Amino acid sequence: MKIKKMVDSFNYAIEGIIHAVRTQRNMRIHMITALFILTLCFFYDLKKVELLIITITITMVITAELINTAIEAAIDATTNFYHPLAKIAKNVAAGAVLVTAVNAVFVGFIIFWDKLVPFTYTTINKVKSTNTYAIFIILVIVSILTLVVKAIFGEGTPLKGGFPSGHSAIAFAIATIIALLSENPPVVILSYILAVIVAQSRVDSDIHSVFEVVAGGIFGTLISILLIKIFI
């Protein structure tokens, strides 16, 4: 009987995780990001301490999202009208997720930056030696992949709204390519400032949320770097 109760407890916990993944878009993004980071660990000689920090950081983000989902469900089940305290509870829970996500970015930067520097210099030299047509094809691929992701999440239209922001993805893809082509720091900075302005304009127009444009920017940047690494 005790064993059955223990098995049931595990089943309930797993059902909770599955529910969060199925119903929460942010949880799906966290899971995909976690898989990407863990896969990246295979390609670098990380120390045990670094692996431990990465796994703890990933666990913190996913745990915070699970708690946030539980709090939202509990509030929705007990409150069928607007209440300022319910709003505060949801905002604070979402804030906890944001804090862990920012910490995860910081941890990733500290651990992987030195290992990515040689790759960055190699990529820059390859991009400089390539032709304009290859760069154009990369931008086309980024655009197509963005549309595919929009179709998967089924939100918005191909050219308006939805996850991720296509304008943000393309703007940051262009900024990344310019950053790899140019040796002039002001040009690189201006390129990313323009990309941020494009992303901000989508938020100001109420077409995208901040999260959607941030996801679009990260998506466009990572896909551009990946394509350059593979094809150039």
Q: Is residue 123 domain-resident?
A: no
**Which residue among 115, 142, 160 closes a domain?**
115
59 and 141 in a single domain? The answer is: no
Q: How far apart are CA 144 and CA 225, in angstroms?
A: 16
Known catalytic membership, residue 72? no
> Alpha-carbon distance 178 to 190, whole Å?
10
Predicted local distance difference test score (pLDDT) of residue 67: 94
The reported pLDDT for the residue numbered 132 is 60
Nearest to 139 by CA among 178, 182, 196: 178
**CB half-sphere exposure, 224, CA atoms < 13 A:** 27
User: Taking all residues of the chain, what is their mean pLDDT, rounded to a whole number?
Assistant: 80
The pLDDT value given to residue 56 = 93
Q: DSSP letters of 140-158? A: HHHHHHHHHHHHHHT-SBT
Last residue of a domain, one of 80, 115, 150: 115
Average of per-residue pLDDT across 188-206? 85
Q: Which domain holds residue 137?
A: 130-232
Chosen domain end from 70, 85, 115: 115
Q: pLDDT band at residue 78, thresholds of 50, 70 and 90?
A: confident
Catalytic residue of the set 15, 50, 65, 72 = 65
**pLDDT one-digit tens code per residue, 198-214:** 888 888 888 888 788 88
Q: Per-residue pLDDT tens for 29-61? A: 888 888 888 877 777 778 888 889 999 999 999
Average pLDDT value for residue range 127-135 = 60
pLDDT (0 to 100) of residue 44: 75
Res. 191: pLDDT tops 70: yes
Give me the pLDDT at residue 57, please: 93
The candidate with the shortest Cα–Cα distance to 62, out of 112, 16, 6, 110, is 16
